[in-house]
Amino acid sequence: MENNQQMRKWLDDMNLSHPLVIAGPCSAETEDQVLKIAHDLKDTDVNYYRAGIWKPRTRPGNFEGVGALGLKWLQKVKEETGLKTTTEVANATHVKLALEHDIDMLWIGARSTVSPFIMQEIADALEGTDKIVLVKNPVNPDLSLWLGGIERLHTAGITKLGAIHRGFSTYKKTKYRNIPEWQLAIEFQNKFPDMPLICDPSHIAGKRDLVFDISQTALDLNYDGLMVETHHDPNNAWSDAAQQVTPSNLVHMMRDLKIRKETD
Ligand code: PEP
Ligand code: MN
């Protein structure tokens, strides 16, 4: 995979005055919830509205997402608020449905990036698309696996690519849900300086109190954007309740973060 300016063209073309901001709930729960949060995020710094509709839960028996029904809710978000939309895809069927419903950006979750078979299936299903595709790091701190997944998409002709750093599983007790291992993300940046890199402070943190500081560290390291789980009633969210912030928290956070420009 060559490294060139073309890689970040999709982001540069957006001509943003701030980092790319992707926000919205961990999971789409109901139509009302999806639309309420989207309306709260309209007219803020948010560029893309996220909501997971197929949820990769580590253990069975938890809420596994509303499924394809949620795609219609995301279409409504776009119609009513003008926000662009993004959701997680984890197999060829998800890709087909998401493309049919004109989701603007797709992301691949940490539990999918670990599997070369899944990555290849997704790459084949996406072949020739001009949608933006973001690849989260795998759950384990393996840079090659992360790059390998991105390479499969690149080889399938997907040019609007980016990476999301969401931290790594660890058996050790730490304050994080997933340890950031910033040095690994820095190695990624050094290898592919032109690949847009987005930080997901929510899944690194696991609790909302840490989201600001993680976001600030990412911006200090010149990341291109943030993906922040945002819910109007976080404590009652159906997944990842402890780490979601409210839309108003997000607005304050974006106001208070120090944004470093490359020319600084
Ligand atoms: C998510 O974004 O809600 C999610 C499941 O993330 P990850 O793949 O990083 O665990
Ligand atoms: Mn989540």
Domain hosting 199: range is 5-256
Q: Judge contact between 113 and 137, C-beta under 8 A.
A: yes
Residue 109 Cβ inside 6 Å of ligand 1? The answer reads: yes
* 206 within some domain: yes
Q: Say how many domains are in the chain.
A: 1
pLDDT score recorded for residue 194 = 94
177 lines ligand 1 (CB under 6 A): no
- For the CA of 239, the closest atom of ligand 1 is 3
Q: Nearest residue CA, atom 8 of ligand 1?
A: 109
**Closest residue CA from atom 4 of ligand 1:** 109
In a domain, 264, yes or no: no
Which regions in the chain score pLDDT beneath 50?
A: none
Q: Given this model, what pLDDT does residue 264 score? A: 52
DSSP letter at 27 equals: B
Residue 262 has a pLDDT of 57
Residues contacting residue 263 through CB under 8 Å, at least 6 positions apart? none
Q: Please, is 148 exposed, middle or buried when counting C-beta atoms within 10 Å of its C-beta (0-12, 13-18, 19+)?
A: middle
Contact 231, 37 (CB under 8 A): yes
**ipTM reported for the complex, 2 dp:** 0.99
* Domain-located, residue 121: yes
Q: Is residue 187 part of a domain?
A: yes
DSSP 132-152: EEEEEPPSS--HHHHHHHHHH
Residue 220 lies in a domain: yes
Residue 115 in domain: yes
Q: Which CATH number do you get for residue 54?
A: 3.20.20.70
Average pLDDT over the chain, rounded to whole? 96
Atom of ligand 1 nearest to the CA of 200: 9
263: in domain: no
